[in-house]
Amino acid sequence: MDTLSTNRAFGGTQGVYSHASTATGTDMTFSVFVPPHEPGAKLPVVWYLSGLTCTHANVTDKGEYRRACTELGLMLVAPDTSPRGDGVPDDPEGSYDFGLGAGFYVDATRAPFDQHYRMWTYVTEELPALVADRFPVDMARQGIMGHSMGGHGALTIGLRHPDRFRAVSAFAPIVAPSQVPWGRKALGGYLGDDAAAWRRHDAVALIEDGARVPALLVDQGAADQFLVEQLQPERLAKACADAGIDLTLRLQPGYDHSYYFISSFMADHLRWHAERLD
Amino acid sequence: MDTLSTNRAFGGTQGVYSHASTATGTDMTFSVFVPPHEPGAKLPVVWYLSGLTCTHANVTDKGEYRRACTELGLMLVAPDTSPRGDGVPDDPEGSYDFGLGAGFYVDATRAPFDQHYRMWTYVTEELPALVADRFPVDMARQGIMGHSMGGHGALTIGLRHPDRFRAVSAFAPIVAPSQVPWGRKALGGYLGDDAAAWRRHDAVALIEDGARVPALLVDQGAADQFLVEQLQPERLAKACADAGIDLTLRLQPGYDHSYYFISSFMADHLRWHAERLD
């Protein structure tokens, strides 16, 4: 693991790191904020998964999580959203919603993407092992959150690892990728027409198929330009109601899909995680 | 005035605007955060002046001021750092510390810079008039802060307008530009060898020459790479001690010159301003 930068911030350390990933076959960059802590302490950690077009840098620059992480004693880890580099295939049409910056937190099974686009394994296995090895983290106290495509990632990973993540939340998540254009393009492109695989990467389908978490917190901007076509939080509301999952879904008037929205509610989410990671 | 963007954030509105400036003879871009407020209310305002290489965008993205502004009921205005556009001369050598992004908050008197580089008039006269006209601001309650070159701007503008600004603070300011490489290059390049003009744009010299403010708050990172060569806060400490100005100078261990440093102490500064703008 190479340290690309470290900066003192809010009494802790904001670092950016790179390592050669065996999951993706590329170098991968991620950021970690470590709040001030006693020597030898092991800290609870929140994973933040980013949305389309983002890298670790968007939330690191604009997420405004460090004050709350310091106050609450939380680490925050932000991975990249796809493999990158020489030999990594992009969308042939160069669109923003497939390929680079759009890994969708799945392990691709379709060529040519199956060689490098293995973000599920990267985020659920390889990076946690690295973080556990190199940072002062208590892996018994983990939460996961994300934005948009990363909200999809947080929900699906949280639902499939109920014993690992004590808290799951999302900002403007893609809750039912099988049903919306972004998701159908990504799941089709990475997984082909394997209907069972699609359901394992669709939060609403996972709940319909029996996956459970105790509670979910979701914030959604009411002025989000992607609300109706891509996000459709009412599908999550219905699935949670049917399944008896305690969903707190807050429609925030006037807010859009940007980091202005995310940063406004970041501290709320981190407090919600901290309460569950005590 | 054209509205380039508005986004809901922390219950208020973060806007970015552009207008044709008569002071600089160019279009100028600036950002304004307006916190939630009662209809008809007039709000205190804090001006934030940015450092070398920056535009309005750096602090808007990374300054983490909106939560505190909302809690305290403060507007925050962030101008650009120089004129830009066709016909605006840059440093012939293209360096980062003169010309574009480096206006140093002076009205240049040397050709070819005297035509457009009129940031003193822009920041002290033209933009305040525009803001007073277009935003819900109480111009009897103004504070000013800045970073590095913008800390220099905040200190010199504050010292020369003691009746206008009730609060003045800075992050890692250039306190004595006449004495350090960044400042000597800029003041010489924009003002020539006019020693009296240099003193009017040098916070330490202004204090030596009798300028006064009731109090100053300055945070300085102890690990700032520019501390010894360019910033030299001990010069400000001596001038304030000699003049009886109540300077709070905090040397912050481990912090560098970046927005990780600024954002860590932004809320402290805004609270300090709010106390004085009541």
Helix (H, G, I), strand (E, B) or coil at B145: strand
How much of chain A, in percent, has pLDDT values that exceed 90? Answer: 98
Question: Which tokens sit at A220?
Answer: 């959604």
Q: Report phi then psi at A201, rounded to 5.
A: -120, 35
| ipTM at complex level | 0.94
CB-based contact B28:B129 (threshold 8 Å): no
| Burial environment of residue A188 by CB neighbours within 10 A (0 to 12, 13 to 18, 19 or more) | middle
CB-based contact B212:B168 (threshold 8 Å): no
A221 touches chain B (CB under 8 A): yes
Q: Where are the domains of chain B?
A: 2-276
- What's residue A14's pLDDT? 98
Confidence of residue A208 (pLDDT cuts 50, 70, 90): very high
- What's residue A174's pLDDT? 98
CB-based contact B47:B27 (threshold 8 Å): no
Question: Which tokens sit at B261?
Answer: 């440093």
Helix (H, G, I), strand (E, B) or coil at B52: coil
Contact yes or no for A66 and B263 at CB 8 A: yes
| Burial environment of residue A134 by CB neighbours within 10 A (0 to 12, 13 to 18, 19 or more) | middle
Distance of alpha carbon A181 from alpha carbon A173, whole angstroms: 14
Confidence of residue A29 (pLDDT cuts 50, 70, 90): very high
Q: Report phi then psi at B137, rounded to 5.
A: -115, 145
How far, rounded to the nearest angstrom, does the alpha carbon of residue A26 sit from its chain's CA centroid?
Answer: 20
pLDDT (tens digit, 9 = 90+) per residue, B196-215? 999 999 999 999 999 999 99
CB-based contact A207:A240 (threshold 8 Å): yes
Verdict on whether the full-model pTM lies above 0.80:
yes
Residue B11: its chain A contacts at CB < 8 A?
A: 264
Residue A62: its chain B contacts at CB < 8 A?
A: 61-62
Distance of alpha carbon A237 from alpha carbon A220, whole angstroms: 12
pLDDT (tens digit, 9 = 90+) per residue, B99-155? 999 999 999 999 999 999 999 999 999 999 999 999 999 999 999 999 999 999 999
B11-34 per-residue burial string, b: 16 or more CB within 10 A, e: under 16:
bbbbbbbeeebebbebebbbbbbb
Mean pLDDT, chain B, rounded, equals 98
- H-helix or E-strand containing B11? none
CB-based contact A44:A55 (threshold 8 Å): no
Distance of alpha carbon B78 from alpha carbon B213, whole angstroms: 22
Helix (H, G, I), strand (E, B) or coil at A147: strand
Using CA atoms, how far residue A260 sits from A59, A61, A182, A231, B217, in Å, is 11, 12, 22, 18, 28
Distance of alpha carbon B258 from alpha carbon B136, whole angstroms: 31
Helix (H, G, I), strand (E, B) or coil at B127: helix
Q: Which of A168, A146, A173 is nearest to A50 (CA)?
A: A146
Q: Which is the catalytic residue, given B80, B202, B224, B269?
A: B224
Distance of alpha carbon A166 from alpha carbon A145, whole angstroms: 11
Confidence of residue A229 (pLDDT cuts 50, 70, 90): very high
- What's residue B8's pLDDT? 98
Distance from CA of B265 to the nearest CA of A (A): 8
CA dihedral for A108, A110, A111, A112, sign (positive or negative): negative
Q: Which of B128, B44, B8 is nearest to B79 (CA)?
A: B128
Q: List the 49-68 stretch of A: residues with Cβ below 8 A of B.
A: 61-62, 64, 66-67
- What's residue A1's pLDDT? 96
CB atoms within 10 A of CB B214: 11
Q: What is the mean pLDDT of residues B65-69?
A: 98
- H-helix or E-strand containing A32? strand A27-34
- What's residue B1's pLDDT? 96
pLDDT (tens digit, 9 = 90+) per residue, A73-90? 999 999 999 999 999 999
Q: What is the mean pLDDT of residues A242-249?
A: 98
All residues at 6 or more sequence positions from B192 whose CB lies less than 8 Å from its CB, including other chains: B109, B110
B17 touches chain A (CB under 8 A): no
* Structural domain A2-276, CATH architecture: 3-Layer(aba) Sandwich (3.40)
Confidence of residue B179 (pLDDT cuts 50, 70, 90): very high
- Residue B264 has its nearest CB partner, among A10, A259, A261, at A10
Give the DSSP per-residue string, A185-232: HHHHHHHTT-HHHHHHT-HHHHHHTT---SEEEEEEETT-TTIIIII-
Helix (H, G, I), strand (E, B) or coil at A94: coil
Three-state SS string over B199-230 comes to HHCCHHHHHHCCCCCCEEEEEEECCCCCHHHH
pLDDT (tens digit, 9 = 90+) per residue, A157-188? 999 999 999 999 999 999 999 999 999 999 99
A261 touches chain B (CB under 8 A): yes
Q: What is the mean pLDDT of residues A222-227?
A: 98
Distance from CA of B15 to the nearest CA of A (A): 11
- What's residue A236's pLDDT? 98
CA dihedral for B40, B46, B48, B49, sign (positive or negative): positive
Q: Which of A105, A100, A98 is nearest to A170 (CA)?
A: A105
pLDDT (tens digit, 9 = 90+) per residue, B28-47? 999 999 999 999 999 999 99
- What's residue A190's pLDDT? 98
Q: Which of A17, A45, A191 is nearest to A105 (CA)?
A: A191
- What's residue B243's pLDDT? 98
Distance from CA of A71 to the nearest CA of B (A): 12
CB-based contact A151:A51 (threshold 8 Å): yes
As annotated, the active-site residues of A are 148, 224, 257
CB atoms within 10 A of CB A212: 12
Q: Are strands A12-20 and A2-9 parallel, antiparallel or unpaired?
A: antiparallel
Confidence of residue A23 (pLDDT cuts 50, 70, 90): very high
B260-277 per-residue burial string, b: 16 or more CB within 10 A, e: under 16:
bbbbbbbbebbebbbebb
Confidence of residue A207 (pLDDT cuts 50, 70, 90): very high
Confidence of residue B4 (pLDDT cuts 50, 70, 90): very high
- What's residue A193's pLDDT? 95
